[in-house]
Chains A and B, each alone.
Chain A
Amino acid sequence: MIKFLLKGILRDRSRSLLPIIVVSIGVFLTIVMSAWMKGIFTDMIDMNANFTTGHVKIMTRAYAENSNQMPLDLALLGIDELKQNLEKDYPDMEWVSRINFGGLLDVPDKNGETRAQGPAACKAIDFFHNPKEIERMNISKSLVKGSIPKKPGEAIISDEFAEKFGVKLGEDVTLFGSTMNGSMLFKTFTVCGTIRFGMTMLDRGAILMDISDAQLALDMENGSTEILGYFNDGNYDKLKVEEVTNTFNSKYSKENDEFSPQMHKLEEQSGLGDYLAMADGMIGMMITFFVIAMSIVLWNTGLLGGLRRYTEYGIRLALGEEKKHIYKTMIYEAILIGIIGSVLGTILGLGMAYYLQEVGLDFSEMTKNISMMMPPIYRATIFPDLFYIGFIPGLIAMVSGNALAGLTIYKRKTSQLFKELEV
């Protein structure tokens, strides 16, 4: 019987084409949008991981509590030893230290008098020994002029700042602030490059220097505000992170010592966990939406199909097929068509998702004034679930639509068959 019905589906295109198209489109959209959303969320999370949170981040317990004030006096000390231990305990991860601190950037004129001043958001990373860090922060590509710091005393400043105050490469700028133990910070850097990340939050008042320079200037030898951990394969794996965090914290973090280090998962930081949950929630919501919308459309195409096949069902009733059996075959057909449509939609959707993954769409102009951390180019991400996720709306919608439409078979009276079939 199934073979027979399949023949019918394949031959009577006008009856199967529309549902197949509807299912394919729905499945296509589900996949493209899921990949798209996943891509955006993954990009945002990657960016956050690369720039601020790491896959995991170690700070002192006290620093963690006040991290938005960037309290240098609560920074980690003895980081060389700590990093050595980390590398031993978690060989599949990379550990890097960074220092974030605030200050005032002063641009002197020829006579050494202040020409311009502005708040500075300083970031010190390992420019000299760790090319991965440079890549992670996308610095080479974001440079507008000049090059990265190559020797002590060099720094990159925000291109916006440089433009505004007419700072040229090779000129000196002075950073004011306070050191780790509260004394006055006064340090002059030579501008070796200007940078624009394309994200207001990172660009505003940015100054980047090597971590050794910062340690020296801030009196924090062998110290940093944070140590970030990254999985070498680049993937954020929730389970692994959970394990790393738990083992680390039970070994190093002491509740009664506010200067003991404490490890934080990416999703615990700056609401990223909610964000991840939201991504999953949105994909779920979208699938639900497609299921409902497609079911309604397919219910109607099912009703139309039922009209087209009025004679067939009549003959089958006359031949002694039970209504329940006819109804069941309609559901089988719906499943067949649902599968055909879902396969088609999945193939097309994956194709489109692949394109969006490789090429992406550039929204940087539109998001110029948004201060949230967002990637400039939006890309989709193909993930394993995509290979089956489309079948959920495809099959549910097709089957529920046809299950509804098929109910009309129960309204038919066998006593009318001769009359109905006599037209």
Chain B
Amino acid sequence: MEIIRIEGMTKRFPVGNGEFTALKNVDLSIAEGEFVGLVGPSGSGKTTLLNIIGSLDTPSDGTATVINQDVSSLSHKQSALLRNIHLGFIFQTYNLLPVYTVYENVEFALLLQNMSATARKKAVMDALDWVGLTDKIKSKPAMLSGGESQRVAIARAMVKKPKIVLADEPTANLDSENSHHILQTMLKLNKELKTTFVFATHDEKVMKYLRRKISLADGKVIADELMQTEKSKQY
């Protein structure tokens, strides 16, 4: 089932007196449960595309439909609701809130949803279990390693069981061992929860895990390949 559909989509930014076209006439369809990487050199438009899929920004031309909702037509309130319920975000830097514990950082994502305290507790513990951090619930982010921090960030993105998780360079700050660990975690969640993962990366280590690789250059999709790698078959 199609979960993301992009048709004839162009994104222009005003720069100085003129405009800069960051995405040119992009067509794309992503089905539920895919594990997709957006790859390409710096400035090719990966983040711009994630932004639009995440309803953080709107297309200049064409349409982007995410979970049957046209991103351009959403009000602020509606796009916030879409993110709140269906989308999870993982950033390059972990962006954990330093005053809160690991547990609270994950719980934070659920506070906007009407959920009983017991249901919330279970959800948080489940999410921390998925990323293997149940023994660190009381730790503050400052005490965690980079890999652990990113796992907390994944738990935070996953705790509300979103349909889509968007990740921008999730491994850029991690060493190779931690990168593998993170990717394995995400792949496992993709498998178990049927969550669709879309991430932007130019990290070679990540490539091995992708089941679909969409290559961008100069704002255009130049290649869209299904991958059959050792790692991705594993799951």
Task: Report A's interface with B, CB cutoff 8 A.
Answer: 1, 4, 7-8, 11-12, 311-312, 314-323, 325, 414-415, 417-419, 421-423
**B168 proximity list for chain A (CB < 8 A):** 418, 422
Whether A320 pairs with B87 at a CB distance below 8 angstroms is yes
Whether B76 pairs with A418 at a CB distance below 8 angstroms is no
Interface SS of chain A: helix
Point out the residue from B51, B84, B87, B112 that lies within 8 Å of A418, measured CB to CB: B51
Q: CA A417 – CA B47 in complex, angstroms?
A: 10
Whether B99 pairs with A320 at a CB distance below 8 angstroms is no
Point out the residue from B98, B104, B112 that lies within 8 Å of A320, measured CB to CB: B112
Nearest 8 CB-CB pairs, A to B? A320-B84, A320-B83, A415-B57, A414-B56, A11-B99, A12-B99, A421-B91, A322-B80
Minimal Cβ-Cβ distance residue in B for A5: B111
Minimal Cβ-Cβ distance residue in B for A12: B99
Whether A418 pairs with B91 at a CB distance below 8 angstroms is yes
A413 CB to nearest B CB, Å: 8
Q: CA A316 – CA B95 in complex, angstroms?
A: 11
Contact status of A311 and B97, CB under 8 A, knowing A7-B104, A319-B109, A419-B47? yes
Q: CA A322 – CA B77 in complex, angstroms?
A: 6
Contact status of A8 and B99, CB under 8 A, knowing A318-B83, A320-B87, A421-B91? yes
Q: CA A418 – CA B57 in complex, angstroms?
A: 11
> Per-position contact with A for B55-81: 1 when CB-CB < 8 Å, else 0?
111000000000000000000110111
- Most chain B beta-carbon contacts within 10 A, residue among A318, A320, A325: A320
**A4 proximity list for chain B (CB < 8 A):** 100, 104, 107-108, 111
Contact status of A319 and B112, CB under 8 A, knowing A8-B99, A418-B168, A422-B93? yes
- List B residues 181-217 near A (Cβ within 8 Å): none
Whether B82 pairs with A315 at a CB distance below 8 angstroms is no
Contact status of A8 and B89, CB under 8 A, knowing A319-B84, A320-B80? no
Point out the residue from A311, A321, A422 that lies within 8 Å of B80, measured CB to CB: A321
Contact status of A422 and B169, CB under 8 A, knowing A318-B83, A320-B81, A321-B84? yes
A4 CB to nearest B CB, Å: 6
Whether, in the assembled complex, B85 has its beta carbon less than 8 Å from a beta carbon of chain A, the answer is: yes
Q: CA A422 – CA B82 in complex, angstroms?
A: 22
**A418 proximity list for chain B (CB < 8 A):** 47, 50-51, 56, 91, 168
**A8 proximity list for chain B (CB < 8 A):** 97, 99-100
**B87 proximity list for chain A (CB < 8 A):** 320
Minimal Cβ-Cβ distance residue in A for B47: A418
Q: CA A396 – CA B91 in complex, angstroms?
A: 38
Whether, in the assembled complex, B232 has its beta carbon less than 8 Å from a beta carbon of chain A, the answer is: no
Q: A7-B100, A422-B168 are in contact. List 5 more A-B contacts (CB 8 A).
A: A315-B108, A317-B80, A318-B54, A320-B82, A322-B77
